């Protein structure tokens, strides 16, 4: 298989595959590295922006055409019910988005996203989940926490989302959190096929501040935290102080945080400070992914763009190839192979280890005339996928380009044995034999 690698004008990499005697169709692979503030992130964000723009246009158009407010727009797969909270002394409208072909009997339970501002953005979030994750084969349930209307949402969110630090009192976000933990979880998760170990909390703006305070106050309530334009400078929501207090009493933070904010948001100034502060703690279990949204303010466009990237970061495993390339460039191919085995043995779902990922990496090395390194990567792929004819086809090509015709022939013959229809292998075998 021939791999072409190009750099676009901002330095982001596009890895495209062109079919050469391979069973893989032509496709485009998008990849990015961690942390997210790298040129690779622009690739993902451009892709998400296109998808998100179409969803936003469709979302707003539907609202206008039907004469609805945003609070009325819900996905066709959604359900709703009212729940009264003894802790808050109020009722909440709970909206549920279920995946296509929701199956109570499937062995694996569904991940779930609990989101604030359910009256305002439930339709948008569920549409993004469906459009971005479902096409990746990832099904997630969404639970929107609302108040029955957009106007009620606006008037009651201050009551429920803001943090109160007075000792010995229970109000504001503390009580709202108690409602979620002791009432909402019980009702929703007893009714639906939900994985209690794979919960996410998603919040926008003040809801994002509530999401951050929850991560520091009751970390283990959720596995993942998605904060979209979360505000850091409300006097009533001293998130930086909460983080400092947490750090004084804890050595680890078992969570995964995605945080996005537009650089034209009036509260952006504290965003880099917070990211720097939490990363400097070096919590062993904490994964932090953050995105500065260039040219975005505090609006639904920033919400949509951050949401799209966040869903990708949290739920879609990354190819291992780019991580290995970084190691090869700094420490050599032997170290990269050691890293591959280590990360695979410890894999927590962050990476996928598809055959294609190593194949793309091997051909990238060929393009840079790094043939010996490409051979080692293709050998690793053959070890990992010994029944794939394509891995031997690729390894054979690398040996052929290195003028090691004996080993090239051996691998092309293996490839042809596994797939007698491999015309590329037939052609190269004839070429090698003609050289004898």
Three-state SS at 97: strand
256 and 336 share one domain: no
Q: What pLDDT does residue 142 have?
A: 97
- C-alpha pair distances (Å), 392 with each of 262, 312, 325, 414: 47, 32, 21, 6
Q: In what order do the strands lie in the sheet with 13-18?
A: 2-7, 13-18, 27-30
195 and 157 share one domain: yes
Task: Name the percent of the chain lying above pLDDT 90.
Answer: 60
Q: What is the DSSP letter of 26?
A: P
In a domain, 15, yes or no: no
146 and 228 share one domain: yes
In a domain, 29, yes or no: no
DSSP-assigned letters across all residues of 290-316: EEEETT--SSHHHHHHHHHHHHHHHHS
- 0.75 exceeded by pTM: no
Comparing 109 with 57, the larger pLDDT belongs to 109
In a domain, 27, yes or no: no
Q: What pLDDT does residue 351 have?
A: 83
Length of the chain: 436
Q: How many domains does the chain have?
A: 2
In a domain, 10, yes or no: no
- C-alpha pair distances (Å), 70 with each of 111, 158, 269: 25, 19, 30
180 and 284 share one domain: yes
In a domain, 3, yes or no: no
Selection from 27-31, 227-231, 347-351 with the highest mean pLDDT: 227-231
In a domain, 11, yes or no: no
354 and 248 share one domain: no
257 and 324 share one domain: no
Strands 141-146 and 90-97: antiparallel
* pLDDT class of 284 with cuts at 50, 70, 90: confident
Q: What pLDDT does residue 51 have?
A: 54
215 and 239 share one domain: yes
- For residue 94, what are its two tokens? 């709970």
Out of 271, 301, 316, a domain closes at 316
* pLDDT class of 17 with cuts at 50, 70, 90: very low
Q: What pLDDT does residue 361 have?
A: 94
- C-alpha pair distances (Å), 103 with each of 30, 49, 141, 192, 212: 31, 31, 12, 10, 32
Three-state SS at 16: strand
305 and 420 share one domain: no
Q: What are the phi and psi torsion angles at 309 (to 5°)?
A: -65, -40
Angle between helices 321-331 and 355-367 (to 10 degrees): 40
User: Counting beta carbons within 10 angstroms of the beta carbon of residue 146, is it exposed (0 to 12), middle (13 to 18) or buried (19 or more)?
Assistant: buried
310 and 323 share one domain: no
Give yes or no for a contact between 200 and 211, defined as CB atoms under 8 angstroms apart.
Answer: no
Out of 316, 337, 355, a domain closes at 316
Average pLDDT of the chain to the nearest whole number:
82
- For residue 235, what are its two tokens? 């006097």
Taking only the tens place, the pLDDT of each residue in 185-232 is 999 999 999 999 999 999 999 999 999 999 999 999 999 999 999 887
Q: Which residue in 301, 297, 310 sits closest to 268, CA to CA?
A: 297
Q: Note down the domain range covering 326.
A: 319-435
Residue 65 has pLDDT above 50, yes or no: no
- For 382-397, letters b (16+ CB in 10 Å) and e give bebbeebbbbbbbbbb
Residue 383 belongs to domain with CATH number = 1.25.40.10
191 and 291 share one domain: yes
Give yes or no for a contact between 390 and 1, defined as CB atoms under 8 angstroms apart.
Answer: yes
Residue 359 has pLDDT above 60, yes or no: yes
392 and 279 share one domain: no
CA distance 224 to 199: 6
Q: Any idea what the Cα angle at residue 275 is, between residues 271 and 277, rounded to 5°?
A: 115
Q: What pLDDT does residue 322 have?
A: 84
Q: What is the DSSP letter of 432?
A: H
CA distance 241 to 273: 12
Mean pLDDT of 378-390: 96
* pLDDT class of 236 with cuts at 50, 70, 90: low
146 and 265 share one domain: yes
Q: What pLDDT does residue 33 have?
A: 27
In a domain, 24, yes or no: no
Mean pLDDT of 145-163: 91
Mean pLDDT of 165-178: 73
Residue 51 belongs to domain with CATH number = 3.40.50.1820
Q: What pLDDT does residue 55 have?
A: 56
Out of 276, 296, 316, a domain closes at 316
In a domain, 8, yes or no: no
């Amino acid at each position: 298989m021939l791999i072409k690698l190009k750099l676009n004008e901002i330095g982001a990499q596009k890895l495209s595959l062109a079919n050469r005697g391979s069973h893989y169709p032509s496709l485009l692979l998008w990849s990015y590295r961690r942390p997210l503030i790298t040129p690779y992130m622009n690739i993902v964000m451009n892709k998400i922006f296109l998808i998100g723009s179409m969803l936003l246009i469709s979302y707003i158009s539907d609202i206008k055409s039907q004469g609805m407010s945003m609070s009325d727009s819900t996905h066709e797969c959604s359900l709703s019910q009212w729940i009264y909270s003894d802790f808050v002394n109020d009722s909440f409208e709970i909206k549920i988005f279920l995946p296509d072909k929701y199956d109570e009997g499937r062995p694996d339970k569904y991940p779930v996203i609990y989101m604030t501002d359910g009256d305002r953005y439930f339709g948008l979030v569920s549409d993004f989940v469906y459009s971005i994750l479902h096409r990746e084969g990832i099904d997630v349930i969404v639970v929107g926490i609302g108040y029955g209307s957009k106007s009620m949402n606006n008037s009651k969110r201050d009551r429920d989302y803001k943090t109160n630090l007075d000792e010995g009192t229970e109000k504001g976000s503390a009580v709202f959190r108690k409602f979620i933990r002791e009432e909402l979880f019980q009702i929703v998760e007893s009714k639906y096929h939900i994985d209690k170990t794979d919960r996410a909390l998603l919040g926008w703006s003040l809801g994002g501040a509530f999401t951050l305070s929850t991560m520091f106050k009751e970390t283990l309530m959720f596995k993942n935290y998605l904060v979209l334009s979360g505000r850091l400078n409300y006097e009533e929501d001293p998130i930086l102080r909460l983080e400092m207090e947490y750090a004084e009493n804890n050595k680890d933070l078992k969570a995964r945080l995605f945080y996005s904010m537009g650089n034209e948001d009036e509260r952006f100034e504290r965003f880099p400070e917070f990211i720097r502060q939490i990363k400097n703690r070096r919590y062993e279990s904490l994964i932090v992914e953050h995105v500065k949204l260039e040219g975005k303010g505090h609006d639904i466009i920033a919400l949509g763009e951050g949401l799209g990237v966040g869903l990708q970061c949290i739920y879609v495993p990354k190819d291992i190839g780019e991580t290995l390339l970084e190691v090869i460039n700094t420490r050599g191919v032997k170290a990269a192979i050691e890293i591959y085995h280590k990360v695979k043995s410890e894999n927590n779902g962050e990476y996928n280890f598809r055959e294609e990922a190593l194949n793309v990496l091997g051909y990238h090395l060929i393009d840079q005339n790094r043939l010996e390194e490409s051979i080692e990567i293709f050998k690793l792929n053959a070890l990992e996928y010994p029944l794939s004819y394509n891995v031997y086809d690729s390894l054979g090509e690398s040996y052929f380009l290195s003028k090691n015709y004996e080993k090239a022939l051996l691998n092309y013959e293996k490839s042809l044995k596994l797939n007698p229809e491999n015309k590329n292998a037939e052609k190269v075998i004839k070429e090698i034999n003609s050289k004898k």
